[in-house]
Amino acid sequence: MKPALRKLYQRPGSDRRSFLRSVAGAAAATFWADETLEAYQQHVRTASKPSELKITDLRVAVVAKAPFTCPIIRIDTNQGIYGLGEVRDGASKTYALMLKSRILGENPCNIEKIFRKIKQFGFHGRQGGGVSAIEMALWDLAGKAYGVPVYQMLGGKFRDRIRVYADTEMSPDPKVYAERMKKRLERGFTFLKMDLGIELIEKTPGTLSRPLGLTLAETRMTEHMFTGIEITDKGIDMLAEYVARIREAIGMEVPLAADHFGHIGVNSCIRLGKALEKYNMAWLEDMIPWQHTALLKKITDSIDVPTLTGEDIYLKEPFVELCRNHAVDIIHPDLATAGGILETKKIGDMAQEYGVPMAMHFAGTPVSCMANVHCAAATENFLVLEYHSADVPWWDDLVEGVEKPIVNRGFIKVPEGPGLGITLNDEVVKRHLLEPGYFEPTPEWDKERSWDRLWS
């Protein structure tokens, strides 16, 4: 050892750690090989001091047809690192932008503090999208600041890969639809879901009873029980036969769920459910609106097919009501509505206490997808995650940093990079924007204010 370095190392109170810090500069270049210095510096975090992080901006880029309109948000900080989140498919970017003034200057690592500050501005359906998007981005930021994946900050993972189920575009011709489902199996998917709505039968006389002259389009904003629409025996037989044709093509082994039945009454839901029992359905989804706990329980108790709901529910408390009453067999939160990553994990953990599994609804870009993947990895009673983009060829290309294809033989590998584990491929995202502007500054939202306190 050179005398100068020996003198430094033997200084009173010094140790090997302080020695390494002292020689990490030019002196060490003559003492260590370049490879050794590079390996040492990989474990030194110089880009971020988490305790001094501050939020400086919130910006948006709106991606079209991925498979739906999806606003991606970016939360910037004073230290150059940023976090990505996503407003739920079909929701307005305004839901996130209006919250910018409430989070400016906050330390993004204080996720729960910020969430409790802004959660009053979310609501059920797409209105929970802004709060959830910001919460996702905060986890991405915190993970990058501390150099760990999100799942690790949630307590670790129960699984290394996440099973996804492939939703598939409906066709009125069961032969066409059966071929589409067979192709899903050929691609390695291990769980399937189909749409099974009354739109399939409405043009056949004698399949539906409804107020004369009423069109299905007119019932879009009317809750199911108040439309006066019921399915006849003929209609139920036709829908059951449709499912039978699909089962003939794909077999009985693969789970097959069903959704989008239409705005029909409770008794029609029960009669249809009984007719589908022999096809061993994985679940019947959102047969009536989630708010009607007692009616959902009536359906669930009347049929031997699992029932499911939850994609439009914001926050944990309504899920507690459903699970405590066993109103459905499976819950189905959408992380981009429910309140984000931690709130969805809390929902899953709560449901497990009641013996209820959790599937997860998702229809967006890989940003929201990876938020779901981390949450699913860290939640023990997770069952399966929805995937809507199997037919979007450029979907994988929106991000970098993860294994491709992202969905491989029906599974997504849990990323090990910090935060969500992804970065955007800027050029690809720009090619698929719905509107001009790519994460432009948003100073017009800096001072959006109201009297936010909920008590006097």
- The residue length of the chain stands at 456
Report residue 190 CA to chain centroid gap: 19
**Given a cut of 90, is residue 39 above it in pLDDT?**
no
The type of residue at 274 is K
pLDDT band at residue 35 under the 50/70/90 scheme: low
In the predicted structure, residue 18 carries a pLDDT above the cut 80: no
What six digits make up the tokens of 390?
A: 């199997």
Q: Which amino acid is at 265?
A: G
Residues 57, 82 contacting (CB under 8 angstroms): no
In angstroms, rounded to a whole number, what is the distance separating the alpha carbons of residues 419 and 416? Answer: 9
By three-state DSSP, how is residue 250 classified? helix
Q: Which whole-number Å values give the CA distances from 288 to 86, 273, 327, 334, 356, in the listed order?
A: 27, 13, 12, 17, 19
Is residue 41 over pLDDT 90? Answer: no
Instruction: Write the DSSP assignment of 383-397 as a string of letters.
Output: EEEEE--TT-TTSGG
29-38, 76-85, 403-412, 447-456, range with the lowest pLDDT: 29-38
Asked if 330 and 307 touch (Cβ cutoff 8 Å), the reply is: yes
Least-confidence region, from 52-61, 113-122, 444-453: 444-453
In angstroms, the CA 347 to CA 122 distance is 16
Backbone angles phi, psi at 256, to 5 degrees: -135, 110
Residue 193: strand, helix, or coil: strand
Q: In the prediction, which pLDDT does 48 show?
A: 73
pLDDT single digits (tens) 138-158: 999 999 999 999 999 999 999
CA dihedral 412, 248, 232, 261 (to 10 degrees): 10
pLDDT tens by residue, 181-227: 999 999 999 999 999 999 999 999 999 999 999 999 999 999 999 99
Q: In this structure, which amino acid lies at residue 41?
A: Q
- Supply the DSSP string of 363-375, one letter for each residue: -S-HHHHHHHHHH
What letter does residue 46 receive in the DSSP assignment?
-
Two tokens, residue 188: 């390695």
DSSP element (H, E) containing 353: helix 341-353
pLDDT at 26: 44
Domains of the chain: 52-148+438-445 (3.30.390.10), 153-418 (3.20.20.120)
What does the pLDDT read at residue 449?
79
In this prediction the pTM is 0.89
Is residue 24 pLDDT above 60, yes or no? Answer: no
Residues 372-398 pLDDT 10s: 999 999 999 999 999 999 999 999 999
Q: Grade residue 167 by pLDDT with cuts at 50, 70 and 90.
A: confident
